[in-house]
Structure 1
Amino acid sequence: MRITLLAVGRLRKSPELALIDDYLDRFAKTGRQLGLPPVQITEIDDRRASGMAAEAPLIERAIPQGAYVIMMDERGEQPASPDFAARIGELRDQGRDICLIIGGADGLDPGLRARADWQISFGRMVWPHMLVRVMLAEQLYRAASILAGQPYHRV
C-alpha cells in the first residue's frame, strides 16, 4: 500500500510547510503500527500549466496506477473525521494504494473529477490550496489516531 498526496503547485519553506511536515511525521509514526505507510508528496509544477485543462493531463500521469483516487473539491461529500478514518482503514485492509489530489487555483478539470473514486470537501467555503494541504495532513493524522484508538480525536 502507498499513500500519495498529489498537489498542483510547489510549497516553499513556510509556516504551512512546517505544519504539513509535522502532521505527516505524526501520521508516519502512528500509522506504522497500523500498517499505514508514510505519505509521499508529489507536486505538479503549476508554472508549466495554465488552468485546469492544462493541469489535468499532468495530474492524470502522476496518479499511481490502480490507486483509489480521493479528490478535494468544494462540491464533494463532507465526511466526518471518523468516516474518513474508516475509509482509510478499509482501503488499508484491501491493500489499495490511495492518491489524494488537490488541484490548482482554478480547481480540477471536470473530466478529471469524473475519474475520482471519492470527492471530499472541507466545507462549502473555498480554501487556499496551501491550507487545504495542512488540513488534509492533519486529517490523515487524525484518521490514524482514530484507527489506533488514541485520544487525539474527541467526539
Structure 2
Amino acid sequence: MGDDKAAGAAALLSPNRVLTCAHVVNDALGRELWSSERPGREHALDVAFHGSGTAGRGIARLSVWLPPQQRASGVVWDGDLAVLELDEPAPDWTRPVVWREMREGLGLRAWHGGGASITYADTVAGPEDDGCRYLDGQLTGAAIGPGYSGGPLWVRA
C-alpha cells in the first residue's frame, strides 16, 4: 500500500497490527471490491509506513476478516473491516492511532495511502446513520477517492 497505486490506507493499532477496510484488501489482491470470501494467509500484502519525511515497508497477512455486507437500503458498509498482522513490527518511529469520538461538524483530514504530503482532503463529519458517520461539507485539497479508504481521519486541529 504505497505510492500512487495504493489500494488504500490503514491505521496502526499496535506495533504488529494494522486496521483497514476489507475492500482495500480485496483491491490490493486484485479481487472484486465487495467480495466476501476470506483471503488465505498465503496472500502477503505490501504495507508502506509514512511519517514526517520518513518511510518504511513491511509485509502483512490477514488476521481478522469482516467482509462488506449489503444492507436492505443498498449500502455496503456494514462490516468491511480487516486486521492485518505484520510479519515484523512496524518501525520504531511509528505510533498507534489515538481514537476519539467523532461528532457532527468536526473538521477532519483524510490522507491518501500513498503517503505524499500533498494528497490530503479536508472535510467535515456529517450526521450519523446507524453507526456510520458521513463526511460532508466542501472538500479542500484532493478529492476523496480510491486510495483513501481504510486510514484514520485526522482531527484538523
TM-score using structure 2 length: 0.26
Q: Which has the higher contact order (CA 8 A, sep 6+)?
A: 1
| Structure that is richer in helix per residue | 1
